Amino acid sequence: MRCQTSRMHDDLIRLTATQAVARLQLREVSPLELIDAAAARIAAIEPELNALPTLCLDRARDHAKRLMAGEGREKEGQTGWLGGLPVSIKDLTDVAGVRTTYGSPIFKDHVPTASHPVVQRIEARGGIVIAKSNTPEFGAGGSTFNEVFGRTRNPWNTSLTCGGSTGGGAVSVATGEAWLAQGTDHGGSLRRPGTYCGVVGLRPSPGRVTRGTVNNLFSTLSVQGPMARNIPDLALFLDTMAGWCATDPLTYDAPAISYAQAVAAAEQNRPRRIAFTADFNGQLPVDRETRAITSKAVRAFEAAGCIVEEFAPDLGDLAEAFLVLRSQAFVVDREAQLTSHRDLLKPDIVWNTERGLQATPSRIAWADRERAAFFRRMAAMFGKYDVFVTPGSPTPAFDVMLRNPESIAGVKLENYMAGSMMNAAITMAGCPAVAVPCGFDQYGRPVGLQIVAPPRRDEVALQAAALFERASGLDKQLPIDPRPGVVPLAEAA
């Protein structure tokens, strides 16, 4: 009987989110059975990964029982209905009654009484929260570790990082601990973990998904968004999250045509012209193998009848402008903690916040002008091209013991954000971007593409990503079991 139960659990975790929701709607499987399957998977592999340090299985089962009794089904039949599907929520995002630490020792015992509006939306649409996923302290960093829960490891090679800051979420979907994962993205926090872990992550357009009641309500740098194993699942979860929210002034109504419908029609809406760059015309360091793999992979669009051309807008001094504006966000968010708990903040947060405090009004104004100029160059590009494609990250996953790679292609990194501009440039332009797997390097590390669309054209990015995914078939390799390995040597110049 135990072997039969184990086989059933294994079969269930291998369902895609879309398949699982279809079976839930047909009553072929129950939310409780999915929770049990996820719980068994978590118990089996968490010791090797540390992706979901806080579980809330009793709360999840109570929610499941209410759904099964017919309660809380007011949104059933609407787009994004999940029907009792278990999901993970990033530990930056409040879940009522569940320990939520933000990866910080300051909040190590924090238990919120109310859920974040995006969690309320997910639960109202039949999503069941089973766990909180690990994150760097306050989401700051490209490798997932903190003083509360420790390090999260990459399932493709447990000696490597899973990326950050939605690292735990990426691992949870890659390994079958959850069917979907909620996360956030400022400088690549949904895209780089997606690339490192061989899953898909979407940075939506600002305003597409509520950020709730954050203090940076009028900033477009940080967004909430979905992660999944494939693009149809990603579109489903975006439909769950999308829409106007009274607590977020930048939000707007969900589209008339759902993202799931848009992805289903990807073949009929393929991009005509695609701009591709491996390194923004040499302006960003990218390792040789990543350049080679992504340059070859993007040609798959040509087989689908698309025109692919080498092109990238000039970055100007966008890297410095990003740091200036990012540091202002840290001032808004962390100035109080810097005063009261400086000794409990990690050095990167102290550095970012103090950098913001030292910036002059003239410097901030310069950064906004630099950002606007880059946006205009991106807009001009989208006048000619339908989508813009780059590597998902300049290098595959690095040593889990490092906070960031020490160098990329022989170029020494000056700070922990210096290797993030491939993603941060897209953040600055206010564009939606999808990370989608495109292959593996010689050491078996996942490599991905970043597919970018014009602002508020999230469906265009998703459709292009779906077209590529269907051609590559890489999503069929998931979920995976954790694999031990060694850290490859860094590539020289």
Catalytic residues: 90, 165, 189
Q: How many CB atoms lie within 10 A of CB 364?
A: 16
Q: How many CB atoms lie within 10 A of CB 30?
A: 16
For 196, 466, 468, the CA distances from 375, given in Å and listed in that order, are 27, 26, 26
CB 130 within 8 A of CB 36: no
The whole-angstrom separation of Cα 159 and Cα 203 is: 27
The whole-angstrom separation of Cα 7 and Cα 12 is: 9
The whole-angstrom separation of Cα 483 and Cα 421 is: 29
Tokens 């106007």, located at residue: 244
For 216, 343, 356, the CA distances from 66, given in Å and listed in that order, are 35, 44, 47
